[in-house]
Amino acid sequence: MNFAERVKKIEEMLNEDWFEMLETNEDEYEEWRGRLEDHAEQVVGHYDNETGVDMDSVDKLLQLNDEFPLLYGEDTVRLYIALIEARPEDKSVYERYIDYLAAIGDATHEAFLRFHTLVEAGRLEEARGIASQMPKRLGLED
């Protein structure tokens, strides 16, 4: 399966009645969750190994990940940075990235506040220039 097909499969799986599964059959839920995580790992592997991945599929994966986290840390950051690079004028991508950074880091950190201020002011070119450095600036990576 290619990147876009796996994202579609993840979306289909998340549309299944997984919450009922969790309540009624934990083993079935764990098996379902394992398959979902396998797809997420494979989709990131495809992203690493392929060029020219459809950015709409990256966007869809990030939206799905907001609803049901499957990707964490640098994988998610890498996908957000790719989306920012592909859509440098799309303020909503920056805003979603800010939400993600706030969820995993310190939203009162000086670097976070500066990045947030740049986006709010519409200074997206400046924000794009530091977007990839944000996890390091927030102390989330070495």
Element (H, E) at 61: helix 55-67
Q: Note if the pTM is more than 0.75.
A: yes
Distance CA 116, CA 91 (A): 11
pLDDT in tens, 63-102: 999 889 888 888 899 999 999 999 999 999 999 999 999 9
CB under 8 A, 24+ apart: contacts of 47-55: 47/3, 47/78, 47/79, 47/82, 50/2, 50/3, 53/3, 53/4, 53/82, 54/3, 54/4, 55/82, 55/83, 55/86, 55/87
Residue 62 φ then ψ, to 5°: -65, -40
